[in-house]
Structure 1
């Protein structure tokens, strides 16, 4: 290897134990990631190669190449760009491939669906968005839509598309397309430090939408507390842990939204009505919740499933219900400000 370029800038790179392209990429990637960026593309002697450590391209000896060019991008910017591209590509698949002879374009459609699915999942991860908490206008959940699309891809990789498949494909892509605006709102709010110039009114509008969604999710999740207890009594630990993990993720996102709300809402209310009808601060609420959840975790580790069920139903659930009311209060506050 004669030259290493990163973002078109020549890098003074001294080879040590690196023997192939993959070794160099691995070293560069660790540095890139530590600076909050990601590798966007790799070019070897003016030929773009896939970012795949298992590929033969990555196993090529450095003595066989002259120029290794790596392009990087801020991971947040790349994820935003990918989400926009996903929306555009969904329209391309629907307009250019599905409308015409879909059998002729079967391979292009399946590959396109893989790019759409993987691009969405990867972007959600980079933007720290939980798909199980992203609601559509009809209260459908993004995680379910992604699961359905993944199942569709697996099914039609092994067989040609038929009329029924095309109808189902349109439904899946239509659903995902409607999620794009909501994904964008979550992305802006969760990565608000990257949007210092965003209009206050727009951010408040996004917060109002997300508080409304979180309230809907909380209302629909209250029954999980009783359900977890029943699962544990029946020895169904997997379903119990899935529900518990979901509740923890929901509480985590509610917590993360608080400092953003404080920043953009003039009359931010950090109070909620406690079990004894007195007002306490949200910080106190989260401390109590964290303490109760630690008790649940301890009881679970000790195999005391009766205590787990009781703690969730009689200690955590009332706090969660009070938090649900606070979310509604926050939504109304933003709406009336």
Structure 2
């Protein structure tokens, strides 16, 4: 006699997906009530879910009080990441939820130390309600692995977006890049360079597009050698800044893709005997705690980092509770903060 499908209490979305001949993401959409699934596929998946007596974790765990959310930093504990986690912890305290903070990978290793399936299983086995990843570069395999064990995912300022349906929280990066550049243009600068983060990073690309749009609106075409991208790190800003500032037709201003890059550019200028802002104006992006402590204090684009963390925590708890999201991407407004690192060119 064959065992009934109901006999198994370990049915996962992967089991249903294999039986239906569809992806785990498709099964997850049906479970979460998403509308972007064909009626035929929905009926097939719902039939299999019923046959296996499947109930999502949200149905077995109706509230998130005393739940635990994993907050993962994909790289180093930067000032940016620690400010975001402050917001996550604040919102978690209000919700009665615990937060575990860790590194998803050591940036020096260059790759993830644990295979996606093993990583996801470990999170599920330790009772994680959800996962928040900041500035991560996840793959489709990571997303599918989490869906298979019913652990919701929210990403903050991701370097890439492995799936359109992944919930994300960010800021108005395009507008921020444009506002920093327009500020320099309004001061009279015309030779304005750009030093950004990873070329494939979505937030970096949006900021760069904002810079380009502002320059184009002013009728200016930056020299190709004045636009460089590498990494959101101080060392990259110092190295690339030195290259640009030592070259011919030196720019009078530089837009940095983040505060760490901007501080590196300022150090490169100091090493070359240039004064900020007398000889060079510099802007950053993020408004981390380092910006007002710089010498001189850094003009930058403020991201609402704490609020981004709070929104991410609330979103992952809503997902864990089975709530459907009105939008999978939330953008919070940026704001230009003018300090002392920018001035009209001399």
Report the TM-score when normalising by structure 1: 0.26
Larger RCO (CA within 8 A; separation ≥ 6): 2
Structure with the greater alpha carbon radius of gyration: 1
More strand per residue: 1 or 2? 2
TM-score under structure 2 length normalisation: 0.25
